[in-house]
């Protein structure tokens, strides 16, 4: 549905300044809710484009969805967007799917069973030195000039998936972010062997009353402790 309308005409607006949305977000959200809830009617629902309901907190299973992660790229006709779907069980993701049709990529993970891209097994890299670590960003700040910038999709979920596939070594944010942005991607990364935490190095939990975490940190296998220490020195700790 999203791919068929990508590059075409559709309504778009800003929910708040700097936060774009379009009618395709809402249409995909409605379709996913109908189909996913039919699969698991007892599950709760948490989505960027649906009004939150507190009854999800009493559910063991919750669908956590971003119908188009990377809406800015979608609106501009760029391929850096994905549909993000996670099934949460008792606060942790157990199924994660990222579908990025404009990139011809489908990422899937099930807890304890590894992660795939287009059905091929993926694994993180083995980097142990921060110097030279690949980071998907537009521009590196001066303090991080020991790192290497690589191409950055607008979707944070796809940036995390790049670490899972050894196309990047480090993704870090230091701001409050929503569960639907990362729920599927962090399972894919973890199942590929990545280090995964919030910006302080703490465990990520999902289906919280306030569905946000302070940042996300996803790294190659040998970088996580060094990355946590670097962020802590900047106030994330």
- Per-residue pLDDT tens, the chain, 237 aa: give them: 999 999 999 999 998 888 899 999 999 999 999 999 999 999 999 999 999 999 999 999 999 999 999 999 999 999 999 999 999 999 999 999 999 999 999 999 999 999 999 999 999 999 999 999 999 999 999 999 999 999 999 999 999 999 999 999 999 999 999 999 999 999 999 999 999 999 999 999 999 999 999 999 999 999 999 999 999 988 765
Based on the domain organization, do 147 and 83 belong to the same domain? no
The residue from 121, 152, 187 where one domain ends is 121
Reduced to 3 states, what is the DSSP secondary structure of residue 128? coil
Q: Is residue 117 part of a domain?
A: yes
Q: Which domain holds residue 221?
A: 134-232
The model's pTM: 0.96
What is the Cα–Cα distance from 164 to 8, expressed in whole angstroms? 31
The answer to whether the annotation marks 181 as part of a ligand binding site is yes
The residue from 86, 121, 156 where one domain ends is 121
The answer to whether the annotation marks 198 as part of a ligand binding site is no
Measured at the CA of 218, the angle between CA 68 and CA 89, to 5 degrees, comes to 65
Based on the domain organization, do 138 and 117 belong to the same domain? no
Based on the domain organization, do 102 and 156 belong to the same domain? no
Based on the domain organization, do 83 and 26 belong to the same domain? yes
**How many domains is the chain built from?**
2
The answer to whether the annotation marks 68 as part of a ligand binding site is yes
Of 171, 188, 161, whose CA–CA distance to 133 is shortest? 171
DSSP 215: E
The residue from 121, 155, 171 where one domain ends is 121
The answer to whether the annotation marks 9 as part of a ligand binding site is no
The answer to whether the annotation marks 14 as part of a ligand binding site is no
């Amino acid at each position: 549905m999203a791919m068929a309308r990508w590059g075409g005409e559709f309504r778009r607006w800003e929910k708040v300044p700097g936060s774009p949305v379009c009618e395709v977000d809402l249409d995909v959200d409605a379709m996913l809710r109908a189909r996913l809830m039919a699969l698991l009617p007892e599950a709760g629902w948490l989505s960027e484009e649906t009004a939150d309901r507190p009854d999800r907190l009493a559910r063991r299973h919750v669908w956590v969805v971003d119908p188009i992660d990377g809406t800015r790229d979608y609106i501009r006709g760029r391929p850096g967007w994905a549909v993000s779907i996670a099934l949460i069980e008792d606060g942790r993701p157990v199924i994660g799917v990222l579908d990025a049709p404009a990139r011809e990529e489908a990422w899937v993970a099930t807890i304890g069973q590894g992660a795939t891209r287009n059905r091929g097994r993926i694994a993180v890299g083995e980097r142990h030195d921060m110097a030279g670590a690949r980071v998907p960003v537009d521009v590196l700040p001066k303090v991080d000039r020991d790192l290497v910038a690589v191409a950055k999709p607008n979707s944070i979920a796809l940036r995390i998936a790049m670490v899972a596939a050894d196309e990047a070594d480090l993704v870090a944010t230091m701001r409050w972010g929503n569960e639907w942005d990362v729920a599927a991607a962090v399972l894919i990364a973890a199942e590929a062997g990545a280090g995964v935490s919030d910006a302080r190095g703490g465990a990520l939990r999902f289906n919280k009353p306030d569905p946000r975490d302070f940042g996300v940190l996803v790294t190659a296998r040998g970088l996580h402790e060094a990355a946590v220490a670097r962020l802590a020195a900047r106030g994330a700790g």
